[in-house]
Each structure stands twice: as structure tokens, then as C-alpha cells.
Structure 1
Amino acid sequence: MNLTVIPTDIPEVLILEPKVFGDDRGFFFESFNAKAFEAATGLKREFVQDNHSRSARNVLRGLHYQIQHPQGKLVRVTSGEVFDVVVDLRRGSPTFGKWTGLTLSAENKRQLWVPEGFAHGFMVTSESAEFLYKTTDYWYPEHERSLAWNDPALGIDWPLDGEPTLAAKDAAGKLLADAEVFE
């Protein structure tokens, strides 16, 4: 697997670009290879769960994290386009409370590594989008938390087109000042 790693302004959050082979028949790429992931990133992770969601335009999912059983996530889009956001929730980190975001799409085939200790969310910017992600731990609903997507202290520059469509748990997300974070 040929994999290019692109750093973000939060050093632990990584953009991964796989080598895509294409011709008039279509394309092929290896979407995950544990050896290549470790060689390219220096990270050895065991992924235990794959998740797949489909959402309509303007749906905003997040910002989610698990306060216990934190999950690392390797995320990508297989149909459509999203604006993907990661927020550092590690209190001792020099980038605590900072966010980074980028466009993930079926077209650019980019993936994003979201480390443990970070909140994650995305907003659909196309008619619809299918989103796939691998996690390093299982989902524990009793430990799931939501950070407020619109917290002014975070200042996330979402590409909004009107009000986003939110789940009840996301509409009730906590401000960073009131949220449980990682020590």
C-alpha cells in the first residue's frame, strides 16, 4: 500500500492519501493495510469495529467522544462529501481546545486519523454522503459524550448553509468549559 501522510496543525491528527490506480475501467486502491498504516504513521493500532453511516445534506454529526474507552478512528467518505472536524480534548496538550478540519470526499479518497482523546464530527456538504470509519475500541453508549458543535470558545468554521440538522444528543452537546475531558 502506497500511503502519503500529510500533517495537520495538530501533530497527532494525520491526513492519509492512498495511492489510487485508475484507468478507463475505474479505479482501485487499498483502503487499509495494518503494516502500511504502521510504517507510514509510526502507529500500531488494532481496529475492532467498522461503522458506516449515510446522511443527507446539512446533517451535522458530532462532536463525539468516549470519556472512558476512548476510540481512535480512521475515517473516510465513500460517497459524497463532508467537512470533517477534530478537537483536542487532552487537557495537558499544547493544542487543547484547538480544532482542525478538512474536506473528505469520495473523489479525493483522503482518510483522517483521529487519535484517542479527541472529539470528532462532520457535516455533509453534498446532497448526501456515506461515511465509513474504523475504531480502536467498541462503542459504549454510557461513556459517549457530545461537545457543542457551535461552542464559541472553539470557533469552528463550519461551512453552514442555514441551520444544520442535528440529533438530540448533538443539540444538547456541552460547551468545552463544562465538558468532561481527558487528563
Structure 2
Amino acid sequence: MSSITTANRNRAADAVAARLNGGVLRIYSGAPPADANTALSGNTLLAELTFAATAFAAAVNGVATANGITADSVADNSGRPTFARAFETGGTTAVWDLRAAFAWGASTAYSIGDRVANGGNQYRATAAGTSAASGGPSGTGASITDGGVTWAYEGVAELVFPGGPSIIQGGTVSVTALTYTQSGS
């Protein structure tokens, strides 16, 4: 069994987060690469946002939460975001890849593959339909019913956008929440 103390999880999260001070967050559609070391292949850049000079607040319990991120006022392309890649200042050194989703919406039509965040978790639509009038998906199952939509749990929500379910070229792209979690093992 391997684990690290909370104090050291905070130190590790703070060290990663500091690499993003003044950096950029690029939002992509298409299949996410295996990891942040893997070159992009066939992905479409949807938008690029800028981190604050101090990108993240100090980590608490191994979780660092982003400070304000400057919106992209003119999105590069239209599409459904599937992941983002965070870069150091200058935009050439990748730091980490993260899942991307829109905040869940009540009574909203969703297509297969749409991703939403609800209750701190991220879900992917596996059957199209219209979401319930309240509540949204919850739990960690592979077949979660929400009105007429079926969702599969994908993990903790890392990057959340308002609105959705797609980014529209020329539109403004902003971030509702962005967190970095340092593993305890």
C-alpha cells in the first residue's frame, strides 16, 4: 500500500498548479490522447483561455482550484469539447490533460456523447433524450437514468463550462470551475 500525507498532497498539487501561472488552457474536440505526453492527433482546437498570473489558490486536501481564467471571446471552431490541455506560459510545454464537460441543464436535449458535470462528477450520454426537470445524473454507475437520457459516470468533474452542449465558433467560451486533484497514492 502506498499513500502520502495530506500536507505532501497539497505541496505536490501546488507545484503542478504553479507551472500554469500565466499559462493557457486549450479546449479540444475529438478522442483524448492517452496522456499529456502524447501528441495530439486529429483533434480540433475549439478555444484557448488564459490562466491568471497566479493560476490556482493553495491546495486544500490535495485539491487546487483555479483562480479566474480569462475567457476566449471568439472561439476558434464549433464542436463538443472532450478534453483540455493546460500549458505553461508560452503555450509550448504541456502540464496536464483534463476532462471537459458542460454544467448539467434541466429539461435539455442531449445527444449520445454529450458530457455534463453534476454534483462534482462528470457523465457521458449513452442514450439521447431530454433531461429531467430537476436533479440530474448522480452516482457512479454505467446506466444512470435522468428523464429520457442515460448517462455513464466518467469520474470527478475537472473542467466545467456554463451552457452547452457545444462550443460555437465565434462565441465566448468561459469556465465555471477547474480543479486539479493530487492523488493520495
TM-score bracket relative to the smaller structure: under 0.3
- How does the TM-score come out when normalised to structure 2? 0.26
- How does the TM-score come out when normalised to structure 1? 0.26
